[in-house]
Structure 1
């Protein structure tokens, strides 16, 4: 169970990394002028933002509900695929920049346009990720996941190292023995 909680916390940080990568200079440069790809990546970002708002509630409920645990596992798989795709884009941008430096070309756009990643193929992969993410987003109602649940007060006993004397029983003789030595 402890691994499930750690896994949920991992998803929060994985989403933060994905948001950073979506906004990175490499991705922005790569999709510049490609309206369909930019629209698909924007839709992906919006779906991820929606899921991100559900994570706090899902992390709390996963211990009691195996369906929520499976939901988090499915989400993790989709996040891995999205992360891999963004890694490929970043790698391609770096490859193109290296080719630009080797060829002495001054136009980054010209090199990015000669990219080995087909835009059609890229759009198809983004759409596949969106298709996998859509049922995950829609499952929030079935799993009763709420947006924005954060910092709920949990009923916990106060933790302290102090001993409340009224709740210590059966040590009267030892207490008298200690008191008589002082």
Structure 2
């Protein structure tokens, strides 16, 4: 049971990595002059945010509903594909930055390559957006609800009572305080650890 729960937590963390990639300086600089690709990347971010909002609920329901478990697997696969596309964009941004800094001789080649890259990435972004849109629309049919960031919808249970503080050591505590506050240089304090 811990494996799938850990996998879901991993998916949520993986989504955060994808959000960070979208916000990286390299990607933002690359997208400045590319309105269509920029719009698709922002749409991708919104789809990922929409999926992230129900992951906690889906993680809990996957144990009782096999359809939810399959939905999570589909979402995980789609997020991996989206992350790969964001990696491609970040790589291309760094490559273009490096090429433009190192030489101006190959600018016409770079321009041709960038245009073909933009067309390819645009097509792949449209495909993954369609897939993510389809997956996120299924959340309603599965009865998945948005859960406030990181707060599980049910209480965690334990056989141990919730008790704050340490009891029964008041005398020892007072003696330690007295010893620490004393000015006697001959007082030796020993600490034992388990």
Cα distance, 1:121–1:158 mapped onto 2, change above 3 Å: same
Alpha carbons 1:92, 1:115 under 8 Å: kept: no
- The CA deviation at 1:135 is 1.4
Q: 2:164 maps to what in 1?
A: none
- The CA deviation at 1:156 is 1.9
Q: Where does 1:1-182 land on structure 2 (aligned, <5 Å)? A: 1-103=1-103, 113=111, 115-116=113-114, 117-148=116-147, 150-154=151-155, 156-159=157-160
Alpha carbons 2:54, 2:145 under 8 Å: kept: yes
Cα distance, 1:101–1:5 mapped onto 2, change above 3 Å: same
The two structures have a TM-score, normalised by structure 2, of 0.73
- The CA deviation at 1:111 is 9.5
For residues 62 and 151 of structure 1, what CA distance do their matches in structure 2 show?
14
Q: 1:174 maps to what in 2?
A: none
Q: Deviations over 1:130-154 (max 9, x none)?
A: 0111111001111100012533342
Cα distance, 1:91–1:148 mapped onto 2, change above 3 Å: same
- The CA deviation at 1:114 is 5.5
- The CA deviation at 1:63 is 1.2
Which secondary structure state, in structure 2, belongs to the residue aligned with residue 93 of structure 1?
Answer: helix
For residues 155 and 85 of structure 1, what CA distance do their matches in structure 2 show?
38
- The CA deviation at 1:98 is 2.1
Which secondary structure state, in structure 1, belongs to the residue aligned with residue 95 of structure 2?
Answer: helix
For residues 19 and 84 of structure 2, what CA distance do their matches in structure 1 show?
14
- The CA deviation at 1:13 is 0.2
Which secondary structure state, in structure 1, belongs to the residue aligned with residue 53 of structure 2?
Answer: helix
For residues 6 and 15 of structure 1, what CA distance do their matches in structure 2 show?
14
Aligned residues: 157
- The CA deviation at 1:112 is 7.3
For residues 158 and 37 of structure 2, what CA distance do their matches in structure 1 show?
52
